[in-house]
Structure 1
Amino acid sequence: MARIILLQIAAAFIVALVALLVSGLSAGLSALLGGLCCALPNAFFALRLLSSVRKLGGANPMNFFVGEFIKIALTIALMGAVVLFYPGLNWLAFLAAFIVVMKSYLILLFRH
């Protein structure tokens, strides 16, 4: 699980660097924020699942569903905060980075 989260954070920084080099500072920052809007809630979800597995009694399926709901709510809240507080948002870079980070787990899936 940690490898996937680290890969997503690395993907966010790589996409931000590419956007920075191609389109400038605003696009680079927008891409970084878009990638982190996906990676941070996933990291929170992974930590929540890991802590629930290590509890006495083992994993509870309800923890998965509650964690998934929190992850979605946190993603929406982070995206809303970026849109609200960053007036120079480059939508293309923001959404492209979000999608790349969201699908970056496929790299690990097809690696072997």
Structure 2
Amino acid sequence: MARVARWFLAVETVAFLGAAGVHAGVLWRGHEHARAATAETVIGVVLGLALLAAAARPRWSRRAAIGAQAFALLGTAVGLFTIAIGVGPRTAPDLAFHVAIVATLVVGLLRLARPTAGLREATP
């Protein structure tokens, strides 16, 4: 379970920090948006800190991943809301990123929320 948690956290951290780099104009010019870059940086840092916690304390992996992914999903929902009301960036790459990252976060949360075989309670 710890390996799965770290894998999801690593992928999501890279995705959010990459999106922040795009919105900061570092990785791709023409899609700058300071508020989106700030939000994505905060989410990426939270995911990265959870990844470090999971690596340092494997027993914390599941909790760290679930907490960070829930935070990221909430932040992504806010981002989708800003797109919907016209405040956030409304480009095809932004929409594609949001769809892909929501799917990744939901799959990660569902995968980590399931009890593992070794942790299931015995049935009488």
- Give the structure with the larger helix fraction: 1
TM class by shorter chain equals 0.3 to 0.5
Higher RCO by CA contacts (8 Å cutoff, separation 6 or greater): 1
So what's the TM-score if we normalise by structure 1? 0.45
So what's the TM-score if we normalise by structure 2? 0.42
